[in-house]
Amino acid sequence: MGKNSYSSKVKWAVVKEKLAGILTTREIMEKYGVKNKSQVETWMRWYKNNEIYRFDQPIGKQYTYGHGPEGQSETDKINRKMAHLEMENEILKKFMAIAKELNVK
């Protein structure tokens, strides 16, 4: 039983689905092939603690000082941050729509 490696896209998709609150953790795990509930909880903790650089880390590499490998360009860092902010904006829009819908009822 070896370690599973999940792509950054899968990690972000799981976090996005979990924040949207439409699917349960079990359903998200089945949809994306995540084998353990604690993995989803770890990714959520990283997101909530604003440790988004961890989504791109390979297994066994825990970057803290520079928040990533030295070879990573400034453009890559900016692009990753932009993708994160766009996802956050999408989630907030969905939340506002749901809140508005609940207030109307």
Domain parsing of the chain, residue ranges: 8-104
pLDDT value, residue 45: 92
* pTM reported for the whole predicted model: 0.58
- Per-residue pLDDT reduced to its tens digit, 55-86: 877 666 665 555 555 556 778 778 878 888 88
The 10 Å Cβ neighbour count of residue 76 is: 13
E strands present in the chain:
none
Can you read off the two tokens belonging to residue 38? 């604690």
Average pLDDT over residues 14-22: 88
